[in-house]
Structure 1
Amino acid sequence: MTSTDSNSSFHALPRRIVVLGTGGTIAGQAASADDNVGYTAGQVAVAQLLGAVPALRRRSEEGWSIESEQVAQIDSKDMSHAVWRRLAERVQVHLDRPEVDGIVVTHGTDTLEETAYLLQRVLAPAKPVVLTAAMRPASASQPDGPQNLADAVTVAGLDGARGVVAVLAGKVWLGGEVRKVHPYRPDAFDAGDAGPLGHVEEGRLRVLRDWPTGTPLGLQVLAADIWPEVQIVVSHAGADGRVVDLLMEAGVQGLVVAATGNGTVHQELQTALLRAQSAGVAVVRALRGGSGCIVPTGHDLVPDAGALTAVQARVEILLRLLSRRA
């Protein structure tokens, strides 16, 4: 798809946007405005975050309706299956409201790629669901959250926007591809080899790719009270199969191995993984780091996750196992 300006009908009518807060650095507070790392995440209510963004006040003056709801207030490193289910349910409730044009989710950066992947696979919405976050707390002297939040609302209000995306540092990423690649800088996300969907520039979106599509699994897939046990193990120098054997004893149902090279796995670890696979455990290889995609060799003994990160592959296995119960 060629680059186009998606903003031609953006201001035609006022929009109704729902912002769902889950905490994260974007809602974090530190004792000093100069401290960008020693903060406590999830301290500022989402309504307060919205009130501190001048661009959103201007939207309200233009007739936009921006609602807010606090779904959770956590550091996203502590994201749980229970919060995922509640968030997905609340997103669906607002998607079903005909007057709502788009939804924004404020989130922590640490597990954003997992939540974005899950929401896209479960909901695949026809309206935009936009995740946004920050690398600096709300208390910072130069926080990145307000601009990210303003940009996210912009994208959520676009005509023709759909699917789950993430808006961070002026870039729009597909929810099924986005991943965190840097621990500190504000521009901390990319999508491997795929590139962004577009760039937000002064309240306008320059589109480079198509909006995400897909067939939703549906909320019923998340209905189980107890979710399957799916864990990640890492292949590395000196790896062996003991951790796999211990996880098998604990009743694990799915395993992702973060593999070296083109999906290669230490021979001792692979032997244990093959035992697990033979016992009915869902096993998949994912890239340990970096960009690219595992290229099948034709004689692979363990299936691969393509271009998914290990944590995205874990969510995929989790959803497949849950789908069998639904």
Structure 2
Amino acid sequence: MRRIAVITTGGTIASSRVEGGAARVTAGGRDVVAGVRIGPGVELSVRETMALNSFAMTFRDMDRIQRAVRAALSEPDVDGVVVTHGTDTLEETAALLAFNHRDPRPVVLTGAIRPQDAPEPDGAANLADAAAVAAAPLAVGAGVLVCLAGRVHEALGTVKRHNDDPDSFADPERSPWAVVTDGRIGPLRPARGPHPLCPRDVEVGAERVAVVSAYPGADRVAYDAEVAAGARGVVLVGTGSGNATPALAAAVREHPVPVLLTSRVPAGTVGGVYGGPGGGADLITAGAVSAGRLRAGQARVLLAALLASGTPVAAEAVGTWTEDVGPRLVPHP
């Protein structure tokens, strides 16, 4: 018997339409699992951790989820963990878990695009697939994974790509790690596996990390305000390959806080491609560090984890988690 711990946190997978037509979390953890068709030889153990829409989650909530995963994996008879989660910020929680995961047993995050009372809800099927992955010997050593619509992705680099399509998550630069068909796992390529940020678990709840976006004519008002409010780091979302404006480059240069540079473009290189005031090369010279393949949400979690662990925010440390997180081996179909 393969024993899978299911950590429930709310989200659309636990939601129904209420008066007025808006979806809200209405189901507890056991209700989410009830009726899910699980393959033979698999047993689910439910641990209800919270009941939130993920857009309302904070870093402290993500720390709670991380602790729940750690507690489940402290039990020797647990073979894997599934986390049910709202899709809005699933990629951030997945990243935090990946940065701390050092156990060969898999952790699989899943959720739903359609609420429980939709004409064609997708949550139960996603949970069944995620449980099958967590129980599969093939997933041992695969690390932290995201599973929706029969596709299984490695956590880092995976983002929500669509608000309506049940196949809502993808890594823009890689194919899925595996597919799930009728409870059977079909790997498509090797997984990177666990690669923790540091020897001890890192919690990020005390860290304030801001996200500031570049756009045509962007001044530095938002950047200055975030630093004045106590931000210990900034994720700068550039245009193109990581470019901003002269005003934002001046702010990066003048404020002594670490900056990770990413892009609003879903895929491709981020860094010192362009010179001139505000270009990526100017931002790197000013002190920004490229977040590589990680986009804003996961880059923010990485910066918070680096700050919390006392790790210098330098290109050498960040590169461990960005460029080699997922080399462009297989185009996404």
**Counterpart in 1 of 2:266?**
290
Q: Distance in 2 between matches of 1:200 and 1:319?
A: 32
SS of the residue 1:200 aligns to? strand
Amino acid at match of 1:175: A
1:220-299 aligned within 5 A: 220-222=201-203, 227-276=206-255, 279=256, 281-297=257-273, 299=281
| Alpha-carbon distance, 1:247 to partner | 1.6
Q: Distance in 2 between matches of 1:73 and 1:230?
A: 25
Tell whether 2:301 aligns with 1:315.
yes
1:13-52 aligned within 5 A: 14-31=1-18, 38-40=22-24, 42-52=25-35
Give per-residue Cα distances to partners, 1:147-167, cap 9 Å, x unaligned.
Answer: 101100000000031310010
**How many pairs does the alignment contain?**
298
Amino acid at match of 1:38: A
Q: Distance in 2 between matches of 1:212 and 1:172?
A: 13
Q: Distance in 1 between matches of 2:156 and 2:22?
A: 30
1:154-165 aligned within 5 A: 154-161=132-139, 162-165=142-145
| Alpha-carbon distance, 1:293 to partner | 2.9
Amino acid at match of 2:222: V
Give the alignment's Cα RMSD to 1 decimal. Answer: 1.9
Give per-residue Cα distances to partners, 1:262-310, cap 9 Å, x unaligned.
Answer: 111111111112212xx2x011110113222315439432221001011
Match of 1:66 among 15, 39, 44: 44
SS of the residue 1:307 aligns to? coil
Q: Distance in 1 between matches of 2:215 and 2:268?
A: 19
Check whether the contact 1:124–1:164 (CA below 8 A) recurs between aligned residues: no
Check whether the contact 1:124–1:213 (CA below 8 A) recurs between aligned residues: no
Q: Distance in 1 between matches of 2:45 and 2:269?
A: 40
Check whether the contact 1:182–1:189 (CA below 8 A) recurs between aligned residues: yes
**Counterpart in 1 of 2:316?**
none
**Counterpart in 2 of 1:9?**
none
Amino acid at match of 1:267: P
- Percent identical residues: 35
Amino acid at match of 2:160: K
1:94-173 aligned within 5 A: 94-161=72-139, 162-173=142-153
Give per-residue Cα distances to partners, 1:56-84, cap 9 Å, x unaligned.
Answer: 2xx3xx34321101001000001112211
Amino acid at match of 2:32: L
Check whether the contact 2:270–2:290 (CA below 8 A) recurs between aligned residues: yes
Q: Are residues 63 and 284 of structure 1, via their aligned partners in 2, closer, same or farther at CA, if it must alter by over 3 Å?
A: closer
**Counterpart in 2 of 1:5?**
none
**Counterpart in 1 of 2:323?**
none
Check whether the contact 1:109–1:133 (CA below 8 A) recurs between aligned residues: yes
Tell whether 2:184 aligns with 1:204.
yes
In the alignment, structure 1 segments of 5+ residues that lack a partner are 1-13
Q: Distance in 2 between matches of 1:203 and 1:248?
A: 49
Amino acid at match of 1:241: R
Check whether the contact 1:287–1:307 (CA below 8 A) recurs between aligned residues: no
**Counterpart in 1 of 2:71?**
93
Q: Distance in 1 between matches of 2:98 and 2:184?
A: 24
Check whether the contact 2:158–2:171 (CA below 8 A) recurs between aligned residues: yes
Check whether the contact 2:241–2:273 (CA below 8 A) recurs between aligned residues: no
TM-score by length of 2: 0.85
| Alpha-carbon distance, 1:46 to partner | 1.7
Check whether the contact 1:117–1:175 (CA below 8 A) recurs between aligned residues: yes
Give per-residue Cα distances to partners, 1:149-201, cap 9 Å, x unaligned.
Answer: 11000000000313100100110010112100112221111101122101111
Check whether the contact 1:123–1:219 (CA below 8 A) recurs between aligned residues: no
Q: Distance in 2 between matches of 1:131 and 1:63?
A: 21
| Alpha-carbon distance, 1:125 to partner | 2.8
Check whether the contact 1:232–1:310 (CA below 8 A) recurs between aligned residues: yes
Check whether the contact 1:164–1:212 (CA below 8 A) recurs between aligned residues: no
SS of the residue 1:240 aligns to? coil
Q: Distance in 2 between matches of 1:215 and 1:151?
A: 24
Q: Distance in 1 between matches of 2:166 and 2:268?
A: 23
In the alignment, structure 2 segments of 5+ residues that lack a partner are 275-280, 312-333
Check whether the contact 1:283–1:303 (CA below 8 A) recurs between aligned residues: yes
